[in-house]
Amino acid sequence: MSSPKQRPLPQSLGLPFTGADSHAHLDDERLLPDLSGMLERAVSSGVSLIVHMFLQHERYAANRNVILEAAAALPKAPDICFARGLHPEDVLHADEEEWERLVEAVKTDPLIRAVGEIGLDYHYEEGYSPSALQEPWFRRQLRLAKELGKPVVIHSRDAWDKVFAILDEEGMRDWPLLWHCFGGDRTRAKQIMERGWHIAFGGASTFKANAEVREALHEVLPERLMLETDCPYLAPQPWRGKTNEPALTVFTAECLASELGMSTEELWTLTGDNARRFFGMEKAQ
């Protein structure tokens, strides 16, 4: 985090150690070199749980223990758990070996609490991941999640109707499913709620132009709401354009709490509790 002079630091919000970043990519090249510092800033900002997405076997094999050891070496660290999945943008290079490793990891690693992020991404029309390839991998991973009784984290970009259609066809209604980086309106939020699913709001929901996304918040049941960074991408205001990291989740909380007319602290703890419940990371009593 640079230029702290012009922007408030996340610690300055003084939130309790009860919040969660439900979607992070800590193994990104921009974040990995300062893993310890990033985890310390998360703690001092009130982030008590980070859910990290592992999208490729190679990265999982290389970084799983690096992340856990960095946390273990600190006097106080957020709890960390993982999701493991094949991202729609990676399917072109996926083969049976990658699949077998994914299945093995989801079956055997107790810290992998969900299959994700998986879904469809039609943002690049002439992309390197043709839609005809994305769909079968998406369905295969949904079936794996059902077979193993795992929650699912959904990535959907420019593919709303198709993602809903596939999820309905695969019988995902009322399955523990988290719609990551929600960017829709009230109607989309309603469709997600009707199906019994959860929604995570990220930094983009704080951008001035995204009033529609903030309005959709009013359709979300309190117990189904989560916060996320999707770091290193999409830092919330007032850090927009900078490298995102878990500590900055507090600014999304502040913005959304004001939209909902509740205190930031209340929303912080509510969404943190929701993430813990969803990913099976409840604190020991």
State how far the Cα of 235 lies from the Cα of 233, in Å rounded to an integer: 6
Phi-psi domain of 238 (left: phi exceeds 0; alpha: psi -120 through 50; beta: other): alpha
Q: Please choose, out of 93-101, 107-115, 182-190, 230-238, the segment that lies near Zn ion by the rule CB under 5 A.
A: 230-238
Look-up: residue for tokens 């984290």? 153
Helix axes 96-108, 57-72, angle to 10 degrees: 30
Contact string (CB under 5 A) for Zn ion, positions 15-34, x = contact: --------------------
SS3 115: strand
Closer residue to Zn ion, CB minimum distance, 21 or 230: 230
8 A C-beta contact, residue 248 and residue 23: no
CB of 283 to Zn ion, least distance (A): 25
Closer residue to Zn ion, CB minimum distance, 230 or 259: 230
CB of 4 to Zn ion, least distance (A): 26
The number of angstroms, rounded, from the C-alpha of 179 to the middle of its chain's C-alpha atoms is 8
CB of 280 to Zn ion, least distance (A): 20
Q: Please choose, out of 91-99, 140-148, 182-190, 223-231, the segment that lies near Zn ion by the rule CB under 5 A.
A: 223-231
Q: Please choose, out of 75-83, 98-106, 158-166, 222-230, the segment that lies near Zn ion by the rule CB under 5 A.
A: 222-230
What does the chain come to in residues?
285
Closer residue to Zn ion, CB minimum distance, 16 or 124: 124
SS3 198: strand
Residues that bind Zn ion (CB under 5 A): 230
